[in-house]
Amino acid sequence: MKKRLFWIVIIGLGLALGLLVLVQTSALWSSPPSGGGLGATNEISSPQPQEAGVQPVYVRAISEYSENGSRYLRLSGTSQPNTVLTLLDKNQRVRQIKSDDEGQWGVEINIEDDANLVLEIVMFVEDGLSVRGDETVYRIPVPADETDDKNKTRNRALIMVSAPGGPTRIIQSPFGGSPTSGPLTMGPIDYDDSGGVIFSGTTEAEGRVRIYAGGAVVGETRVGAGGRWNFIAGNLLPRGEYAVAAELIRSDGERVRVTVPFALMSPPETETEMSASTGPDVTYEPFRWQVRRPLLGGGAQTTIIFAPENAQALIVEAQE
Q: pLDDT of the chain along its 320 residues, tens only?
A: 544 444 444 555 454 444 443 334 333 333 333 333 322 222 222 333 334 578 999 999 999 999 999 999 999 999 999 999 999 999 999 999 999 999 999 999 999 988 899 999 999 987 778 899 999 999 999 986 544 554 444 468 999 999 988 899 999 999 999 999 999 999 999 999 888 999 999 999 999 999 999 999 999 999 998 899 999 998 889 999 999 999 999 988 899 999 999 999 988 876 665 555 567 999 999 999 999 998 877 789 999 999 999 898 888 765 54
Whole-structure pTM value: 0.78
How far CA 29 is from CA of 20, 35, 38, 208, 317, in Å, comes to 15, 14, 11, 60, 85
* Sign of the C-alpha dihedral computed for residues 281, 283, 289 and 292 taken in this order: negative
Note the pLDDT of residue 27. 36
Helices (H), the chain: 2-30, 149-154
Amino acid 161 reads V
Note the pLDDT of residue 277. 59
d(CA 300, CA 223): 28
* Sign of the C-alpha dihedral computed for residues 212, 229, 258 and 192 taken in this order: negative
Beta bridge partners of 6: none
Which candidate, 173, 140, 139, places its Cα nearest to that of 59? Answer: 139
Note the pLDDT of residue 29. 33
Note the pLDDT of residue 2. 46
d(CA 253, CA 311): 30
d(CA 188, CA 175): 13
For 177, phi then psi, to 5°, come to 165, -175
Residue 280 · residue 247 · CB < 8 Å:
no
Which domains does the chain possess?
A: 178-320 (2.60.40.10)
Which candidate, 187, 244, 192, places its Cα nearest to that of 217? Answer: 244
